[in-house]
């Protein structure tokens, strides 16, 4: 199969004008200029298209896709979410949300997601989808259903049936919902399995204050639940605490990091986490300015995720990158593209397979068609107000694009 486009953007290397990618079965075998093709037939041609690696969304909650919640501050929103999850039929809403979220992701050019499910219902649904996925099993100590303990977490992980497109991951929810012992145990367990792990961390001022020993910002009911589950303040800074339980573990994914400070960075550098910034969710909840430049200057890897649809309008990391480019232009276009492809793949432990257009990697591709020719394909992607892929392939199989009848299609899960 040969796909030719006005521009090919490998990520690892310069953009190629009038380029092509050739793949056989599920692997890329050649990347180059169309001049090298000779008489070989081109199955798909996009003269005004920008061909990139499939986008990677390292942090999302697909089970929230069909869940509408009133806009509010984070803690009010979280209480509303818990209440909705306790309503009759909530599991059905979550299940349909996972399936629809996977389709919306593919239609946005996303070929791989890192998805978290509260009740571990996502992986059997996503296993039927052609999208590549890391399915994180979540541990939350005071939840109404598993996983609430390390034993239940292990059982949930062992239940996941991995395949070529599905990898399991481990997610202790947050420092205020998982004890220090279980945070360490979760990260250590993921390290033993050689699987990725992530934790929501430094997401709110109240959480950071709790870590330092001041829990007055938390509600009385939350403090009671924490006490019942043995969750106590470590009485230290956010960075020092993360480094403490992440030491000797494989590098983890620190989700959000909205309130990390310069004093946190020295400790974080010792354990090399990837920080997942969710720009539109950050804005939705009205947090203070995100410390993006500070994190990048400290040498930490930062990638972009979408979080969930209740606090974002799409499941597109490209839209997240456009938001950053428009509102906090401290990163150039090439770096933004890397954040939503290769760096996110590395965060999920998949960089040897996906994230760039290189010989030997999996043929996960997306073609975005622009309205007009350009000499700056990456910047054009981020300047455009709305760009959706003309075609998407996962592991060499076309999942979005033109059918033989000319209709735009998306393979259903």
What distance in Å separates the CA atoms of residue 345 and residue 339, rounded to the nearest whole number?
Answer: 9
Whether residue 207 sits in one domain with residue 255: yes
Whether residue 362 sits in one domain with residue 342: no
Q: Does any domain span residue 75?
A: no
* Overall domain count for the chain: 2
Whether residue 145 sits in one domain with residue 7: no
Whether residue 269 sits in one domain with residue 157: yes
Contacts for 131 with CB less than 8 Å, ≥ 6 apart: 102, 105, 106, 110, 111, 112, 113, 165, 394, 399, 413
Whether residue 329 sits in one domain with residue 234: yes
Q: Does any domain span residue 80?
A: no
Whether residue 359 sits in one domain with residue 333: no
> Which range of residues forms the domain containing residue 201?
114-119+132-307+315-347
Whether residue 188 sits in one domain with residue 136: yes
Whether residue 284 sits in one domain with residue 179: yes
Per-residue pLDDT reduced to its tens digit, 233-268: 999 999 999 999 999 999 999 999 999 999 999 999
Of residues 162 and 374, which shows the higher confidence score? 162
**Binning pLDDT at 50, 70 and 90, where does residue 4 land?**
very high
- What's residue 402's pLDDT? 65
Whether residue 363 sits in one domain with residue 332: no
Single out the residue of 353, 332, 347, 340 nearest to residue 305, CA to CA.
Answer: 340
Q: Does any domain span residue 71?
A: no
Q: Poorest-confidence range of 87-96, 196-205, 382-391?
A: 382-391
Q: Does any domain span residue 374?
A: yes
Whether residue 322 sits in one domain with residue 206: yes
What distance in Å separates the CA atoms of residue 103 and residue 98, rounded to the nearest whole number?
Answer: 9
- What CATH number does the domain containing 186 carry? 3.20.20.140
Per-residue pLDDT reduced to its tens digit, 300-343: 999 999 999 988 999 999 999 999 999 888 899 999 999 999 99
Per-residue pLDDT reduced to its tens digit, 50-107: 999 999 999 999 999 998 888 888 999 888 888 888 888 888 999 999 999 999 999 9
What distance in Å separates the CA atoms of residue 359 and residue 100, rounded to the nearest whole number?
Answer: 32
Per-residue pLDDT reduced to its tens digit, 25-49: 999 999 999 999 887 889 999 999 9
- What CATH number does the domain containing 366 carry? 2.30.40.10
The secondary structure of the chain, three-state, reads: CEEEEEEECCECECCEEEEEEEEECCEEEEEEEHHHCCCCCCCEEEEEEEEEECEEEEEECHHHCCCCCCCCCHHHHHHHHHHHHCCCCHHHHHHHHHHHHHHHHHHCCEEEEEEEECCCCHHHHHCCCCCEEEEEEEECCCCCCCCCCHHHHHHHHHHCCCECCEEEEEEECCCCCCCHHHHHHHHHHHHHHCCCEEEEECCCHHHHHHHHCCCCCCCHHHHHHHHHCCCCCCCCCHHHHHHHHHCCCCCCEEEECCCCCHHHHHHHHCCCCEEEECHHHHHHCCCCCCCHHHHHHCCCEEEECCECHHHCCCCCHHHHHHHHHHHCCCCCHHHHHHHCCHHHHHHCCCCCCCCCCCCCCECCEEEEECCCCCCCHHHHHHHCCCCCEEEEEECCEEEEEECCCCCEEECCC
Q: Does any domain span residue 96?
A: no
Of residues 37 and 19, which shows the higher confidence score? 19
Single out the residue of 1, 29, 40 nearest to residue 357, CA to CA.
Answer: 29
Q: Does any domain span residue 172?
A: yes
Whether residue 219 sits in one domain with residue 244: yes
Copy the structure tokens of residue 120: 């571990």
**Binning pLDDT at 50, 70 and 90, where does residue 407 land?**
very low
Whether residue 179 sits in one domain with residue 282: yes
> Looking at the predicted structure, is the pLDDT value of residue 405 above 70?
no
Q: Does any domain span residue 157?
A: yes
Cα separations in angstroms, 254 against 272, 274, 307: 10, 6, 13
Copy the structure tokens of residue 280: 């539109």
Question: Of all residues in the chain, what percent carry a pLDDT higher than 70?
Answer: 97
Q: Does any domain span residue 262?
A: yes
Per-residue pLDDT reduced to its tens digit, 120-144: 999 999 999 999 999 999 999 999 8
State the pTM of this model: 0.95
**Binning pLDDT at 50, 70 and 90, where does residue 413 land?**
very low
Contacts for 60 with CB less than 8 Å, ≥ 6 apart: 101, 105, 113, 114, 115, 116, 305, 306, 307, 308, 315
Q: Poorest-confidence range of 45-54, 180-189, 374-383?
A: 374-383
């Amino acid at each position: 199969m040969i796909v030719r486009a006005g521009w090919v953007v490998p990520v690892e290397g310069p953009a190629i004008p009038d380029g092509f990618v050739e793949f056989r079965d599920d692997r890329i075998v050649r990347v180059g200029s169309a001049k090298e093709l000779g008489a070989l037939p081109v199955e798909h041609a996009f003269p005004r298209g920008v061909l990139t690696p499939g986008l990677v969304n390292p942090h999302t909650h697909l089970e929230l896709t069909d869940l509408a919640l009133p806009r509010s501050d984070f803690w009010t929103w979280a209480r509303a979410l818990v209440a909705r999850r306790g309503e009759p039929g909530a599991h059905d809403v979550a299940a349909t949300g996972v399936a629809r979220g996977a389709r919306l992701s593919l239609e946005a050019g996303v070929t791989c997601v890192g998805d978290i499910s509260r009740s571990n219902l996502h992986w059997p649904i996503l296993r039927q989808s052609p999208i590549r996925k890391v399915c994180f099993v979540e541990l939350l100590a005071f939840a109404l259903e598993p996983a609430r303990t390390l034993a239940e977490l292990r059982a949930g992980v062992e239940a996941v049936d991995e395949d070529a497109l599905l990898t399991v991951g481990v997610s202790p929810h947050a420092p205020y919902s998982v004890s220090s012992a279980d945070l360490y145990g979760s990260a250590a367990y993921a390290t033993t399995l050689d699987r990725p792990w992530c934790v929501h961390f430094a997401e709110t001022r109240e959480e950071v204050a709790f870590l330092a020993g001041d829990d007055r910002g938390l509600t009385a009911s939350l403090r009671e639940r924490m006490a019942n589950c043995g969750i106590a303040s470590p009485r230290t800074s956010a960075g020092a605490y993360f480094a403490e339980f992440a030491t000797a573990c494989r590098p983890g994914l620190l989700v959000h990091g909205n309130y990390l400070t310069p004093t946190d960075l020295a400790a974080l550098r010792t354990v090399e986490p990837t920080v997942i910034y969710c720009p539109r969710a950050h804005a939705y909840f009205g947090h203070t300015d995100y410390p993006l430049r500070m994190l990048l200057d400290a040498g930490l890897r930062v990638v972009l995720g979408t979080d969930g649809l209740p606090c974002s309008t799409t499941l597109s990391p490209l839209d997240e990158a456009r938001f950053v480019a428009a509102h906090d232009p401290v990163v150039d276009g090439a770096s933004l593209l890397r954040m939503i492809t290769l760096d996110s793949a590395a965060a999920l432990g998949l960089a040897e397979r996906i994230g760039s257009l290189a010989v030997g990697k999996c043929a996960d591709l997306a073609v975005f068609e622009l309205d007009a020719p350009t000499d700056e394909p990456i910047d054009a992607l981020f300047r455009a107000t709305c760009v959706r892929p003309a075609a998407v392939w996962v592991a060499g199989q076309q999942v979005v694009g033109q059918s033989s009848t000319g209709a735009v299609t998306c393979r259903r899960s």
